[in-house]
Amino acid sequence: MVPLPHSDEGRREYISANKDLIRAAAHDAGLPPETIAGIAWQEAEGGPGALDDPAFEVRKIIPGEDPGRTSMDSIALQVRRAAEVLGYDAAHLTGMQRSVLVDAVEDPAKNVFTASDHLAQLKAESGFAGVPPEEMARARMQERAARSNGALLPVPGRPGIRSGLRPETGRRDGGTEMNPAAGPPTSTPPYHRRTSALLGTGVCALILTLGALVTAYTALTAYMVEPDGPWDHQAVTNARAAATIALAFSAVTALLTWVFVKAHWLRTWWHAVPAALAVAALLRLTLLAPGP
């Protein structure tokens, strides 16, 4: 049985499968592996991923909204922060750059190191920049994690800090997996929960391709029909059919690729093919219409 994305089993599987990445990122950042594991899990699995893509698209067209927020519950890493860590100009991101950053946040390896780099920056700016990871108190680790999360609940005793980590010991935070005495690192491939999204991408691309071919054939038929007079019934019927099919597939494609499928490359030009054919068919219909 596949573990639920937000379940304890899914958390354990994610941390166990990516423990080599987490250990390496923690070593580079000078932070405890448990902190990196908790943040990486929150970024990869903690937010409502099904809402990320439509929210991303809606924020792009709403004035004053930052489309870089990748989670509706403000737990996932902001694209702005990922841009700063990876060297992009966060204030002037192109659509393609935003898509690359969102994909990077969703990729386990890139996400782990991006989160660890951000935490390392926070540690360097704090009052315990030189404290070794093994000497960092749990309260301080929670504070660093809370600053990275930007979540909603205040840390006890620190009203200026907000936390949403729900830090717990043991296997729930990957404590068992992070135990150095548990054995040498394994070569387990990184855990992905995007298999269904990849399958959806393939199905969506197939539907879109077939729809474009059907629309193109119908429109071509309309173009090849020579009207006998100023108003040819068959040509007009074919043109109307082409326009209807093209517009329908354009709408379905936009819905599938923008809402249900995390495939940013599908949003660039593929869904414009049926729309372009629809415009051509409507122009054809207009040209065939009788004059006054």
CATH number for the domain spanning 133: value is: 1.10.530
pLDDT of the residue at 289 = 55
Residues 129 and 202 in one domain: no
| Residue 28 and residue 124 in one domain | yes
Residue 105 lies in a domain: yes
Q: Is residue 190 part of a domain?
A: no
Q: Looking at the structure, tell me whether residues 122 and 17 fall in a common domain.
A: yes
For 246-265, write each residue's pLDDT tens digit: 767 766 776 666 665 555 55
Structural domain ending residue among the three candidates 182, 214, 246: 182
Pair (166, 207) in one structural domain: no
Count of CA atoms in the C-beta half-sphere (13 A) of 160: 1
How deeply is 208 buried, as exposed, middle or buried, from its count of CB atoms within 10 A (0-12, 13-18, 19+)?
Answer: buried
pLDDT at 115: 75
By residue range, what is the domain housing residue 261?
Answer: 195-288
CB 110 within 8 A of CB 86: no
Low-confidence ranges of the chain (pLDDT < 70): 1-7, 43-78, 81, 126-130, 133-201, 204, 219, 222-223, 225-232, 235-236, 247, 250-251, 254-292
Q: What is the pLDDT of residue 78?
A: 56
Contact 190, 203 (CB under 8 A): no
Secondary structure E strands in 91-172: 153-155, 158-163
Q: How far is CA 124 from CA 30, 89, 120, 128, 163, in A?
A: 10, 21, 6, 8, 20
Please indicate, yes or no, whether residues 97 and 20 belong to a single structural domain of this protein. Answer: yes
User: Which residues contact residue 48 at a Cβ distance below 8 angstroms, ignoring those fewer than 6 apart?
Assistant: 71, 72, 73
At 143-167, the pLDDT tens digits run 555 555 543 333 344 333 333 333 3
Count of the separate structural domains present in the chain: 2
Single out the residue in 125, 153, 182 at which a domain terminates.
182
Structural domain includes residue 3: no
User: What gap in Å lies between CA 188 and CA 201, rounded to an integer?
Assistant: 25
Residue 188: predicted pLDDT: 44
Are the CB atoms for 34 and 111 separated by under 8 Å? no
